[in-house]
Amino acid sequence: MNLFGWLNDQLLRMQWLSELVTAGVSAAGLDPATRLGGSVHFFVYDVIKIFILLSVLIFAISYVQSFFPPERTRRILGGRSGIWANTLAALLGTITPFCSCSSIPIFIGFTAAGLPLAITFSFLISSPLVDLASVILLASIFNWSIALAYVAVGLVLAVVGGTLIGRAGMEDQVADFVRNVPVQDNEEAMTRAERLAFAGEQVAEIVHRVWLYVLIGVGIGAAIHNWVPANIITALLGQDNWWSVPLATVVGIPMYADIFGTLPIAEALIGKDVGLGTVLAFMMAVTALSLPSIIMLKRVVKTPLLVLFLAVVTGGILAIGILFNAITSWFI
């Protein structure tokens, strides 16, 4: 085995942890090959793995993020326009490990600072949908080709979505109070100790925010993986069914979770031969179109702009899902 493969298996997939959990489950008198034993193994292994990776990755990403506070991000994006500005906004969104609701205040700040809607919406779509931690976690559960494909389509959706919204000329559809929000512009340099402290605080905050969703997601994933017959999953979400992508998208919207909570469910669905596009559509709907974020966004934009946002993002998710279902064999 080459060095990269060994590192991928031991550091990302944590095969050592899987073997350790297998030994622990067996010592507890359960057979990992049975439904109950397999469910316990799936739950314990995935919970520990996700929280280890999540803590390490969020710490590293938050340290990098400390160099890009909202004030600096606004300066980077200010005065720019066109598709390259949208691309830059989408890329900057990847270093902000926020859920969709947490991205709304930054969206307000960007809009109040006079940034074009195209840029602010590219950031709003990208921030909860794609982040550096999700890339590593996706690779740890699936493989690098799926992880990179998810990031690529997420960035494309953010850039195209922001561009379409910007060209609609709906600047007057932002709530009046947003334009009057005072803009802070007091960026202060941080010392290394302050950056390390900031990174530690971000780990504590994000873990506190997502731990319940991770446990719920892993629990659902364990149930799907070990208790729900494959023929039932295939009948509902099989990639040969034309409704699988729309159904996965609709099911995902009422849920509220970070991508970290959706990964175990996605892992279980892939294990039941659900199409990659259907799984991606579900993950994107949960992270980009969660009902709480839609309710919050309604408070800062007027109905026509909200409807346009939902139509553009939903249409993009459906297109991505259908496309990737057609080319699933390329990745799995």
Q: Is 169 left (phi over 0), alpha (psi -120 to 50) or beta?
A: left
Q: How far, in Å, CA of 71 to CA of 184, rounded?
A: 7
> Exposed, middle or buried: residue 281 (CB in 10 Å: 0-12, 13-18, 19+)?
buried
Tell me if residue 239 falls in helix, strand or coil: coil
The amino acid present at 292, given as its one-letter code, is P
Query: How buried is 59 (Cβ within 10 angstroms: 0-12 exposed, 13-18 middle, 19+ buried)?
Result: middle
* Residue 181 confidence (pLDDT): 58
Q: What pLDDT is stored for residue 171 in this prediction?
A: 85
C-alpha distances in Å from residue 157, one per residue of 58, 129, 160, 320: 24, 10, 5, 9
What CA–CA distance (Å, rounded) separates 186 from 328?
Answer: 48
pLDDT score at 313: 92
Q: What is the pTM of this model?
A: 0.76
Give residue 4's pLDDT: 64
CB under 8 Å to 279, separation ≥6 — which residues? 248, 266, 269, 270
DSSP code of residue 10: I
- pLDDT tens-digit profile, the chain (332 residues): 576 677 677 777 788 999 999 999 999 999 988 989 999 999 999 889 888 888 887 788 778 777 766 666 666 776 667 788 888 888 887 776 555 555 677 777 777 777 888 888 998 888 878 877 777 878 887 888 888 888 889 899 999 999 999 999 888 888 877 766 555 555 567 788 988 998 898 888 878 877 887 888 888 888 887 787 777 777 777 777 888 999 988 888 776 666 677 888 888 888 888 888 998 898 888 888 877 778 778 888 899 999 999 999 999 999 999 998 888 778 76
Q: What is the structure's pLDDT at 186?
A: 53
Beta carbons of 224 and 272 less than 8 angstroms apart: yes
- Per domain, the residue ranges of the chain are 3-20+33-183+204-330
Torsion sign, CA atoms 258, 196, 61, 184? positive
- Rounded to a whole number of angstroms, the CA Rg of the chain reads 20
CA dihedral sign, ordered 61, 73, 154, 201 = positive
| 178: enclosing H helix or E strand | helix 176-179
**How far is Cα of residue 55 from the mean position of the Cα atoms in its chain?**
16
Residues 243 and 245: their CA atoms lie apart, in Å, by 6
Which residue type, as a one-letter code, is found at position 65? Answer: Q
Question: Tokens 């494909």, residue?
Answer: 149
Sign of the dihedral through C-alpha 315, 316, 321, 323: positive
